[in-house]
A and B are shown apart, each in its own frame.
Chain A
Amino acid sequence: KAGVTQTPRYLIKTRGQQVTLSCSPISGHRSVSWYQQTPGQGLQFLFEYFSETQRNKGNFPGRFSGRQFSNSRSEMNVSTLELGDSALYLCASSLAASSYNEQFFGPGTRLTVL
């Protein structure tokens, strides 16, 4: 069974631009979560989607948004990029909505904002 896939793997943008990252969960998994990892803040939760509905949201500004499609694939969007948005963005999928389910991570998208 294929794992979680994320595209693109690397991205370079300039301040003020917007970016869209994509995540395809493991086949059969319906929950997708997004995390941001930076050297200073560690791994921080962005949001979680289940059945096309946002189930949880972390403490990030409204510039960060996401959505989930009927096939469970998810996208996250960051508008008006800032230098501090440079980070590794990780997506995780799990079978169901409960956090008691084991989560599996994709390889990540490394975003650099210049």
Chain B
Amino acid sequence: GIQVEQSPPDLILQEGANSTLRCNFSDSVNNLQWFHQNPWGQLINLFYIPSGTKQNGRLSATTVATERYSLLYISSSQTTDSGVYFCAGPLSGNTPLVFGKGTRLSVIA
């Protein structure tokens, strides 16, 4: 089945720094979502981005479907950005989301 690899697995940042998280897929995907898991476990939708670039405040994401990767950019990081970031996508419309192992981000004041 499809493999999803996220890098880096862990990231420690000083408040105010910028970061880039990467998600690689072993096969083509037709949907890709980025989530932030808060300390209470809930997955918060960040982006639904099958292709192209989207921005939402300090966060932006780019998916290059033909090259099977997606990037999540966090600018001017804040302590509230801490948590685990997941990317996920299905192989096709009839298959469930496959999640990466996540990137654990710690933002230090």
By a beta-carbon cutoff of 8 Å, the part of chain A in contact with chain B is 33, 35, 37, 42-43, 45, 48, 55-56, 58, 88, 90, 92, 98-108, 110
Contacts and interface: CB of A to CB of B under 8 A. Distances in A.
A45 B40 contact: no
B40 A107 contact: yes
Contacts of B97: 33, 45, 92, 99, 103
A104 to B, nearest CB: 6
Given A42-B99, A100-B31, A108 B41 contact: yes
Interface of B: 30-31, 33, 35, 40-45, 48, 50, 86, 88, 90, 92-99, 101-102
B45 A104 contact: yes
Q: Is the interface of A mostly helix, strand, loop or mixed?
A: strand
B41 A110 contact: yes
A106 B42 contact: yes
A42 B33 contact: no
Contacts of A56: 94-96
6 contacts: A43-B88, A45-B98, A48-B96, A99-B90, A107-B42, A108-B42
A42 B41 contact: no
A99 B41 contact: no
Given A43-B86, A108-B42, A100 B33 contact: no
Contacts of A98: 93-94
Contacts of A107: 40-42
A99 B40 contact: no
B86 A99 contact: no
Contact of A102 (B41, B45, B102): B45
Contacts of B99: 35, 42-43
A73 to B, nearest CB: 19
A56 B86 CA distance: 22
| Most chain B CB neighbours (cut-off 10 Å) among A43, A58, A110 | A43
A102 B93 contact: no
Contacts of A105: 35, 42-45
